[in-house]
Structure 1
Amino acid sequence: MELARELADFLGSVEQRLGTMLDDGDAGPDTQGDTLMEAARHLCLGAGGKRARPLLVRLFGGVFGVPPEKLLDVAVAAEMIHSSSLLHDDVVDAGMFRRARPTVNARWGNIVAVMSGDLILSTALFRLSHLDPRLTQSALAVVMEMSRAAIAEVESRGNLELSLERLRYVAEGKTGSLFGWCGHAAATLAGQPEAAQRFDAFGRRLGVAFQIADDIRDVLGTDPGKPRYADMLSGTPSLPILLAVARDGSLRGKLKDAWAFTTINPERTRALGDAIERTDAVPLAVERMNAEIAAALEALGPYAQQGMGSELVRWARQLSEGITAQAEARSRAA
């Protein structure tokens, strides 16, 4: 209970600091309010975000007993980098809802969404530059990696021949790289270069596992903040989809035909989803997710038993157990 309260207090401080950093700034003369920061607040505050990245920063720092106040700006920067990528993703995907609310691009338009994402990204990097230049350099490298992964994902749309290696590259770049940075940054502040490498490897593997978990939830319909079959409807070749078409040649043709149209009607969507589930794609995806988690725990090495390292282990295993249970429950019900 004491650890839970400590983590809750830290996330509460993150929320307060986010609110401060997203206050209206200098929008110039003859203006009322700050449109870009208003849009940023719409996405970042009070929208049900999991704050996974700030939590990771706290846990990684807790391995070495880094004071929470020293980790706060790193945690907030991680959340703002993530939020900027969401603003840009929603423009790329023409997304209309996120976390059960209209997206920024749906409410203010694409220009505001892009510029708001740029503003909070630069704000985060500027703040880091005053904390430790090394963190700014590593964060910039992560932003570059995230950008390349994002365009790789766009280029893969509708491609059922996509290799699993290329798919993993996208997952590691979009999610794993920032998870890894949370650990690398915390260890850098602690003056632990060897741990920085291990934490980065752990975070990258865990981030890939998180993406696979999202792919599985999409097929099972167990993500309350996302419509079922969103990947299929957007023409995104997720891991379960690629595993399914590799085992059912007729499904490959059916998906290609469906993706040739702008939209897929609900009846066809359900039929294709049922066909994916009839293959062994979901349990195979669960196996791959669990393999990534096992590799993450191996990368953590001796730090798994030091400080808050055991909480990192628990967090990773909780993801594995939760998704595995969802998949097994659906299998029994089928």
Structure 2
Amino acid sequence: MDLALELSSFLGNVEQRLGGMLADGDAGPDVHGDTLMEAARHLCLGAGGKRARPLLVRLFGGAVGVAPERLVDVAVAAEMIHSSSLLHDDVVDAGMYRRARPTVNARWGNIVAVMSGDLILSTALLRLAELDARLGQSALSVVAEMTRAAIAEVEARGNLDLSLERLRYIAEGKTGSLFGWCGSAAATLAGQPEAAQRFDLFGRRLGVAFQIADDIRDVLGTDPGKPRYADVLSGTPSLPILLAVERDGSLRAKLKDAWAFTTINPERTRALGDAIEASDAVPRAIERMNQEIQGALDALGPYAHQGMGTELVDWAHKLSAGITAQARSRAA
């Protein structure tokens, strides 16, 4: 089968299984429907999700010869763990839109959003425990890491003195840890502990690069899913922001002053964002992103040339090429 068709078929099976996992459950007597699962479906199904994590599960599994049907439940669990974190993040950030539609908290309120996130997270972990106790245990560890990184991100709001090491810790915990789990889980099913270690490191470093790419898109305005300069508006010290103020004391003072207020008006947000883009922060951020990507590729070792390992390499290269092209287009 053609690779594109094979991956499309796999993701179709993931979509079908995900729909089944998010079907209405028993909400108790005298209740029609299931509000929590309805809210989960609103976020998870038909909302333009990239399905990056299920795709990674398939590629990692294909690099060590795991049959696709054995990977579907792992891929679904990865997507549900990710989705639960999005439901919680939108409450923390008071987000009103995600994937070009109202967030669950905007439509149903914070209580439903939090409890819906809890429900799909516990559903995913329970399924993993039934599938393979090792996967359930490792997933629990990842959820704990994601949670610590999420609170670290909240604590970092408005902090222009945040170290780049601390910022990387946040990116690895929020994104890289689950990317890495997608690989280690697939390798665990294959009974290949060396691959599990290599895949985990690859995923973690790729996840950090993935987060840097998102930070760069925010400055370039090339993320269709959110308004430009959202990090400036929310007081989030992204990598481009920290790199920009590192060399520009005047910009640091202006941004610090702006973040001292609860809200920033659109004109000031745009002026600050334009100053960040005009600095050398974007090319320096791309350089750091490429360092993470190279570290990820080095971690693959022999698996870079084995089965679908070549697709993992290609995916990493495409991430770098895409962001670089967007930056050049903006600079032209």
Q: In the alignment, residue 246 of structure 1 is paired with which amino acid?
A: E
Q: Which residue of 1 aligns with 2:80?
A: 80
Distance 1:61 1:308 in 2: 8
Distance 2:230 2:179 in 1: 24
Distance 1:151 1:208 in 2: 17
Q: Is 1:163 the equivalent of 2:163?
A: yes
Distance 1:136 1:265 in 2: 45
Distance 1:13 1:171 in 2: 30
- Tell me which moved more, 252-261 or 88-97: 252-261
Distance 1:64 1:201 in 2: 16
Q: Which residue of 2 aligns with 1:263?
A: 263
Offset of residue 329 of structure 1 = 1.7
* Paired residues, number: 332
Q: Deviations over 1:20-77 (max 9, x none)?
A: 0000001000101000000000000000000000000000000122111100000000
Q: In the alignment, residue 237 of structure 1 is paired with which amino acid?
A: P
Q: Which residue of 1 aligns with 2:111?
A: 111
Q: In the alignment, residue 94 of structure 1 is paired with which amino acid?
A: A
Offset of residue 214 of structure 1 = 0.1
Question: Matched residue of 2:225: which SS?
Answer: coil
Q: Is 1:153 the equivalent of 2:153?
A: yes
Query: When the two structures are superposed, what TM-score results if normalisation uses the length of structure 1?
Result: 0.99
Q: Which residue of 1 aligns with 2:142?
A: 142
Q: In the alignment, residue 3 of structure 2 is paired with which amino acid?
A: L
Distance 2:11 2:159 in 1: 40
Distance 1:266 1:27 in 2: 44
Q: Deviations over 1:87-137 (max 9, x none)?
A: 000000000000010000000000000000000000000000111000001
Distance 2:233 2:317 in 1: 30
Query: When the two structures are superposed, what TM-score results if normalisation uses the length of structure 2?
Result: 0.99
Describe how 1:43-122 pairs up with structure 2 within 5 A. 43-122=43-122
Q: Which residue of 2 aligns with 1:277?
A: 277
Q: Which residue of 1 aligns with 2:4?
A: 4
Offset of residue 328 of structure 1 = 1.6
Q: Which residue of 2 aligns with 1:297?
A: 297
Distance 1:140 1:267 in 2: 43
Question: Matched residue of 1:129: which SS?
Answer: helix
Offset of residue 277 of structure 1 = 1.4
Taking only aligned residues, the RMSD between alpha carbons, in angstroms, comes to 0.7
Q: In the alignment, residue 297 of structure 1 is paired with which amino acid?
A: L
Distance 1:129 1:42 in 2: 26
Unaligned runs of 5+ in 2: none
Question: Matched residue of 2:69: which SS?
Answer: helix
Distance 1:207 1:320 in 2: 13
Distance 2:270 2:36 in 1: 39
Distance 1:102 1:271 in 2: 27
Distance 1:267 1:156 in 2: 24
Describe how 1:137-216 pairs up with structure 2 within 5 A. 137-216=137-216
Distance 1:291 1:122 in 2: 36
- Tell me which moved more, 270-279 or 234-243: 270-279
Structure 1's consecutive aligned runs of 4 or more residues displaced over 6 angstroms after TM superposition are none
Q: In the alignment, residue 47 of structure 2 is paired with which amino acid?
A: A
Offset of residue 210 of structure 1 = 0.2
Distance 1:87 1:296 in 2: 29
Distance 2:274 2:108 in 1: 37
Q: Which residue of 1 aligns with 2:309?
A: 309
Q: Which residue of 1 aligns with 2:19?
A: 19
Q: Deviations over 1:199-222 (max 9, x none)?
A: 000000000000000000000000
Identity of aligned residues (%): 85
Offset of residue 260 of structure 1 = 1.6
